[in-house]
Amino acid sequence: MKENKKTEEMKREEKLKKKIKDLKKESRPYIAYKKLILTAAKSEYDPRDVVDSLKFVSMHIEKKNWEMVDRVGGTSGDLMARGACPKCKINLVGKDLRPREFTLPCLIKGCTFMEAAQQENGRKKSNSIC
Ligand SMILES: [Zn+2]
């Protein structure tokens, strides 16, 4: 009899845990929007760029692409980010998805952006010698 009561309680707990999990899942887009709006409100970018970011993030909220949602619209998100380097994860900005100048060199081996930047720097140096 006592055993039965225990399993009953465990079942109830399981159900509650599942419910909490479902609710968390359900609330995720709303929490993401809240963070996005706060991040956007704090930003000092051109309002048109901010609107573009809002559109970009809401598209990714719809797609449930939480990694990108957090990267751009999260609490410490980068509103102008539109992608990430697959190697070093630095934010990529602009239509042509380039890292910002100051984020380089990332010093991650195999990062194509860093290699390109170093080649560029090498060229500049050899030019200035002439
Ligand atoms: Zn990289």
Query: What pLDDT, on the 0 to 100 scale, is given for residue 105?
Result: 79
Q: Which amino acid is at 98?
A: R
Query: Residue 17 C-alpha to ligand 1 middle, in angstroms?
Result: 40
Asked whether residue 129 carries a pLDDT value surpassing 70, the answer given is: no
pLDDT interval class at 36 (50, 70, 90): very high
**The token pair that represents 66 in the structure block:** 């939480």
Query: Residue 97 C-alpha to ligand 1 middle, in angstroms?
Result: 12
pLDDT interval class at 53 (50, 70, 90): very high
Query: What pLDDT, on the 0 to 100 scale, is given for residue 104?
Result: 81
Query: Residue 99 C-alpha to ligand 1 middle, in angstroms?
Result: 8
Q: How far apart are CA 65 and CA 3, in angstroms?
A: 44
Query: Residue 109 C-alpha to ligand 1 middle, in angstroms?
Result: 8
**The token pair that represents 37 in the structure block:** 């709006």
Q: What is the mean pLDDT of residues 27-45?
A: 96
Query: What pLDDT, on the 0 to 100 scale, is given for residue 126?
Result: 62
- Asked if omega into 105 is within 30° of 0 (cis), the reply is yes
